[in-house]
Structure 1
Amino acid sequence: MKTAIVILNWNGKKLLEQFLPSIVKFSSDEAEIYVADNASDDDSISYIKNAFPSVKIVKNIENGGYAQGYNDALKKIDADIYCLINSDVEVTQNWLSPILDVFKSDENTAIIQPKILDFKDKTKFEYAGAAGGFIDLYGYPYCRGRVFNDLEKDSNQYNDISEIFWASGACLFIRSKIYCKLNGFDEDYFAHQEEIDLCWRTQNIGYKVKYVGSSTVYHVGGATLQETNPQKTFLNFRNSLLNVVKNVPKKWFLFVVFSRLLLDGIAGIKFILELRPIHTWAIVKAHFSFYKNFFKFLKKRKVLQKKSDYNLHTSIVWQYFVMGRKKFTDLK
């Protein structure tokens, strides 16, 4: 099974210096390693050529963000399995074998995520993916090991192999034939939550997304956009709404769309009360962008097969903020 590990880079020489060595050390025997460069203007490329001549470089002609960056690069890479991994991820010994074994044993598994722990505190799960992602009825994402900003300590409680709804773009394995069949990421997302859309579409056509807890990586998180950056707020809210329009089944569609408008308004008020009005404005801009793209995404929706049963918990907002359920295992 030919495997390609593909690191998307944009002006990330410092991250490559810190994290590329672990990927080369623990992966070279089982996979080819690529850096897909999004038109960097630092000396990332010369560093890779000098320090790691075995690492192959794919040059994109522009910085098209996460979605376009991978779509452009993967067209030039021949492999059965793509591993899409952020440049701020440290991998561990024997991280690949458990994942490749699952791909070999189950042809219907299309996407896999490893356990993602926090590089800054390796006892805890990391925000972007943790032990596998889910969404609620309204399209809000959360994870085993992370609900909103509450992160669990890793006490081996998620060392299993299980089906999940979405795998984190920080470290995501996918069969190349499925990636190509789905035409890759939706480039209208630019960055953030495009992996949720990809996983959703993967399940729409009958394939599974899994988490493999016997494989561990450590993610810095926020290396490109910090959690406090309003652009991240904008992209997360806008793209979550786009996911709803594209993928929510017909029976829930109008209810979920109108409910989200109300719930996002409440989130905007919460940011004001927290004296963070810049994030309220980011939500407002996200909604204007959503309205602008609404009919474009309705057209995309019409050509997509829909998964009828997608939500594990009715409302993560209600359970977390009203009922005080902070851990995945507490959710009803």
Structure 2
Amino acid sequence: MQLSVIILNYNVSYFLRQCVLTVQEALVGIDSEIIIVDNHSSDDSCAMVKKYFPEIKLVENKENVGFSKANNQGVAIAKGAYVCILNPDIAVPKNVFKKSLEFANTKSDLGALGVRLIDGTGNFLPESKRNIPKPKVVFNKITGIKSTKNSYYASQIDQTEIGEVSVLVGAFMLLKTTVYKEVDGFDEDYFMYGEDIDLSFKLLKAGYKNYYLGDITVLHYKGESTTKDKTYLKRFYGAMHIFYKKHFKSNSIFKTLVFLGVSMAKFVNIFRNSSSVSTSNNPENYFLLSDNIGFLKKLSKASEIELKSLSKSAVTDVKTFNSYFIFDANYISYEKIFKAMDFLKNKGNTFRIRPVDSDFIIGSDSSNTKGDVFDFSNDQVTK
């Protein structure tokens, strides 16, 4: 078998369903399997998988064992020569695995491979490619100092370029199963956050190279994976402490300075998070990209909103601000959806997607908060 896709899920049933639908389409023609590891979700995630995807391997944990252990569980039963670690709040284009595997097969020194990630607003997620968070790098990030040589994000490579980077994000990581096991996979000392930095670093130390493919765009809602609350901040900065303890034991002076800086940043971020005020815009227009008149009528009735039909060929000709765009994945491919989002981003526009053959639309207006789901099968809104 060529590829095993491991999807770790926790309480994001709707987003998981979209993820699986896009992954299945992208795996057509590839000898592959999908393995879902559920970390004791309290929603209907497992029931949904059994109903809509009964052929998929589902591991149901009796407790939330964290990111590292759950993914290691998935890889342990994987049959593919390659594994792809994937978040459930991901939507992939049809060519993602074909192009990734073609590139991977040309690199004998491949550690892990990552792609260009965008959030629900169409904006690039800079954590798609990062540098090793050495003390000076982290110091610059904490203090806000701009530095090309010692930046936290790998700004030396453009977001649409292909090249070597030090650290990839765990939301999408593709690597050989043998290499994953050679470096003992994700370190289970990390419960959540920091595991991808640690794995990337272990691969480099083992003599491998990590590659970033900026010509492949993948949607990562991000806010669905975690809510940016005090628990998140505690785990994230705790992960940084673990990383330095494991890999920078000899650099005690810098380590102490970074620990102090991290503690200060933790306090500042908690303050910012608790004092932030969310804002929402009132769209002037509502556009639906679909050729299904029945769907348009059903959604208009359920939402009580007048929807304007827009063709996929015309979407990049629209110079519209403060509008609401709904993309029907039965009509327009995810690759074209991502291109349209890129064209229309940062203009006050909002984006939602109807996954293939689904009675709901989903999206997210911030990579720091959970997204919205409008389930029009029962005319209800879920957040």
CA distance in 1, matches of 2:54, 2:270: 51
Higher mean displacement: 75-84 or 265-274: 265-274
**Displacement of 1:201 after TM fit?**
0.9
Are the counterparts in 1 of residues 233 and 270 from structure 2 also a CA contact under 8 Å? no
Identity of aligned residues (%): 24
Residue number among 117, 137, 154 corresponding to 2:134 in the alignment: 137
Are the counterparts in 2 of residues 126 and 221 from structure 1 also a CA contact under 8 Å? no
Aligned residues: 263
Question: Residues 110-189 of structure 1 correspond to what in structure 2 (within 5 A)?
Answer: 110-118=111-119, 120-122=120-122, 124-126=123-125, 129-130=127-128, 132-138=129-135, 140=138, 157-189=158-190
Aligned to 1:32: 33
TM-score (norm: length of structure 2):
0.62
Structure 1: which 4+ aligned runs deviate by more than 6 Å? none
**Displacement of 1:43 after TM fit?**
2.9
Q: Deviations over 1:191-220 (max 9, x none)?
A: 001110011111111111110112221000
Structure 1: segments with no counterpart, 5+ residues: 278-332
**Displacement of 1:265 after TM fit?**
4.2
Alpha-carbon spacing, 1:58–1:29, altered in 2? closer, same or farther (3 Å) = farther
CA distance in 2, matches of 1:272, 1:100: 40
CA distance in 2, matches of 1:206, 1:236: 27
CA distance in 2, matches of 1:221, 1:92: 17
Higher mean displacement: 19-28 or 104-113: 19-28
**Displacement of 1:29 after TM fit?**
2.6
**Displacement of 1:23 after TM fit?**
1.5
Aligned to 2:252: 254
CA distance in 2, matches of 1:38, 1:236: 19
Are the counterparts in 2 of residues 133 and 165 from structure 1 also a CA contact under 8 Å? yes
CA distance in 2, matches of 1:135, 1:158: 17
Q: Deviations over 1:227-256 (max 9, x none)?
A: 2x1111111111112111211373xx1122
CA distance in 1, matches of 2:44, 2:203: 37
Aligned to 2:67: 66
Point out which structure has higher relative CO (alpha carbons under 8 A, 6+ apart): 1
CA distance in 1, matches of 2:11, 2:41: 5
TM-score (norm: length of structure 1):
0.71
Q: Greater helix share, 1 or 2?
A: 1
Alpha-carbon spacing, 1:61–1:174, altered in 2? closer, same or farther (3 Å) = farther
Structure 2: segments with no counterpart, 5+ residues: 142-147, 276-383
Alpha-carbon spacing, 1:208–1:264, altered in 2? closer, same or farther (3 Å) = same
Are the counterparts in 1 of residues 11 and 41 from structure 2 also a CA contact under 8 Å? yes
Are the counterparts in 2 of residues 19 and 89 from structure 1 also a CA contact under 8 Å? yes
The letter for the 1-side match of 2:170 is G
The letter for the 1-side match of 2:218 is V
Are the counterparts in 1 of residues 115 and 214 from structure 2 also a CA contact under 8 Å? yes
CA distance in 2, matches of 1:61, 1:96: 31
Q: Deviations over 1:85-129 (max 9, x none)?
A: 0100010121112211221111111200011111x212x1125x3
Aligned to 1:328: none
CA distance in 2, matches of 1:192, 1:117: 19
Secondary structure, in 3 states, of the residue corresponding to 1:67?
helix
Question: Residues 1-332 of structure 1 correspond to what in structure 2 (within 5 A)?
Answer: 2-30=2-30, 31-118=32-119, 120-122=120-122, 124-126=123-125, 129-130=127-128, 132-138=129-135, 140=138, 157-227=158-228, 229-248=229-248, 250=250, 253-268=251-266, 270-271=268-269, 274=272, 276=274
Secondary structure, in 3 states, of the residue corresponding to 1:20?
helix
The letter for the 1-side match of 2:110 is T
CA distance in 2, matches of 1:136, 1:272: 21
Alpha-carbon spacing, 1:275–1:45, altered in 2? closer, same or farther (3 Å) = closer
**Displacement of 1:269 after TM fit?**
5.8
Secondary structure, in 3 states, of the residue corresponding to 1:188?
coil
Are the counterparts in 1 of residues 12 and 224 from structure 2 also a CA contact under 8 Å? no
**Displacement of 1:61 after TM fit?**
4.1
Secondary structure, in 3 states, of the residue corresponding to 1:135?
coil
Are the counterparts in 2 of residues 96 and 215 from structure 1 also a CA contact under 8 Å? no
Q: Deviations over 1:118-152 (max 9, x none)?
A: 1x212x1125x33x12134316397x9xx88x9x9
